[in-house]
Homo-oligomer: A and B are copies of this chain.
Amino acid sequence: MLARLPERVSVYEVSPRDGLQNEAAPIPLEAKLRLVDALLDTGLSRIELTSFVSPRWVPQLADADELCGRVRRRAEVTFSALCPNAQGFERAKAAGLPEIAVFLSASESHNKKNTNKSIAQSLAAFEDVVPPALAEGMRVRAYVSTVWGCPYEGDVDPRAALDITQSLLSLGCYQVSLGDTIGVGTPRQTAAIVEMFLSEVAVDAIALHFHDTRGTALSNALVGLMLGVRDFDSSVAGLGGCPYAPGAAGNLATEDLVYMLHGMGIETGIDLPRLIDAGRVAEAVLGRKLPGKVHQAGLPRLRS
């Protein structure tokens, strides 16, 4: 049953971007720097810092340029940022980021609501972002949201998400992160989606991005692992989601994911006690309890 588990997993940390973009009140730049600084000491090697979108759309991340300018850089840590369009790419380039990410949804309604474009228009817009970024020597990742379900349309055909993924890979993205944006997925569905993807794309071409809205994020990640997936997005302390319903949403918590992975003998390169410290920094920065478990409980006393 656990025969296909990978020996090593790469964790892609999204808390500075996906976690902070939903905060009702923007977090001060100094507080963001404190969070990123804590993350830099954990052994995480991929951190998504921010989003180069219009401050009118996402005022929480209006300090994107300044944040990128002020974060401590470490050779072993790759920073990235979301870029929806050519202007975003130019800002990421100016910030000296080695990697960017583009994003769209698997369902038309959500994509329209989120980006004011049809899926075809989003894919067309990426032609002004991905090839220029690759020409600059940057790597480009992509997100496909609402793969497990759409808040407007309900069920989503995973075939549509796979077609979009193929387009993104053809355009030059090195990896497509598949998102259960509203946290509705359950394991049988996850198995069906991942198996469909792995029948057509290489395992390293996909990552899984779960939200824990209904408690199933880690179980869905386990299914991905059992099918051999080696790339998972997560957010320290489960940062993310709506601050008006504490505990109800949020991303899969990085420390919970890493606790499970290490408990299964899967390497991540991450120092779990330091990650737990970073989770506590995230709570201090946000000024409230966050839903991740392991940063609250700590490690068992008598185990490593």
A247 touches B1 (CB 8 A): no
Let me know if A56 is at the binding interface, CB within 8 A. no
Q: Which of B215, B302, B303 has a CB less than 8 Å from the CB of A256?
A: B215
Residues of chain A from 12 to 68 with CB closer than 8 A to chain B in the complex = none
Q: Interface centre among A150, A223, A249, A263, by most B CB within 10 Å?
A: A263
Inter-chain contact A259/B216, CB cutoff 8 Å: yes
Q: Are B248 and A293 in contact (CB under 8 A)?
A: yes
Known: A218-B215, A226-B1, A293-B212. A186 touches B259 (CB 8 A): yes
Give the number of times this chain occurs in the complex, counting copies: 2
Within the complex, the shortest CB–CB distance from A62 to chain B, in Å, comes to 29
Per-residue CB contact flags for chain A residues 138-179 toward chain B (1 = under 8 Å, else 0) read 000000000001111111000000000000000000000000
Interface string of A179-202 (1 = CB under 8 A from B): 000111111110100000000000
User: With A and B bound together, what is the CA distance between A227 and B294 in angstroms?
Assistant: 26
5 new A-B pairs (CB below 8 Å) besides A188-B264, A214-B293?
A149-B303, A151-B301, A155-B303, A183-B297, A213-B297
Smallest beta-carbon distance A256→chain B, Å: 4
Q: Could you say which of B152, B184, B212, B260 contacts A216, with CB atoms under 8 Å apart?
A: B260
Decide yes or no whether A73 CB sits under 8 A from chain B. no
Inter-chain contact B186/A289, CB cutoff 8 Å: no
A155, chain B: closest CB distance, angstroms: 7
Residues from chain B with Cβ under 8 Å of A185 in the complex: 263
**Docked pose: A153 CA to B303 CA in angstroms:** 10
- A137 on interface, CB distance cutoff 8 Å: no
Assess whether B302 is in contact with A153, with CB atoms less than 8 Å apart.
yes
Whether a CB of chain B sits under 8 angstroms from the CB of A240 is no
Query: Which residues on A are within 8 Å of B, measured CB to CB?
Result: 1-2, 5, 149-155, 182-189, 191, 212-216, 218-219, 221-223, 226-227, 245-249, 253, 256, 259-260, 263-265, 289, 291-294, 296-297, 300-303
Asked whether, in the complex, the Cβ of B215 is within 8 Å of the Cβ of A216, the reply is no
How many Å lie between the Cα of A184 and that of B227 in the bound state?
A: 24
Chain B neighbourhood of A153, CB < 8 A: 302
**Closest residue to A259 on the B side, CB-wise?**
B214
Among B214, B223, B259, B265, point to the contact of A297 (Cβ < 8 A).
B214
CA distance A154 to B219 in the complex (A): 25
Out of B5, B187, B296, B300, name the residue touching A245 (CB < 8 Å). Answer: B296
Residue of B nearest to A250 (CB): B293
Residue pair A303, B154 in contact (C-beta under 8 Å): yes
Of all chain B residues, the one with the shortest Cβ separation from A213 is: B297
Residues of B contacting A186 with CB < 8 Å?
A: 259-260, 263-264
Q: Look across to chain B and name the residue whose beta carbon is closest to the beta carbon of A4.
A: B1
Q: Which of B2, B184, B227, B293 interacts with A300 by CB under 8 Å?
A: B184
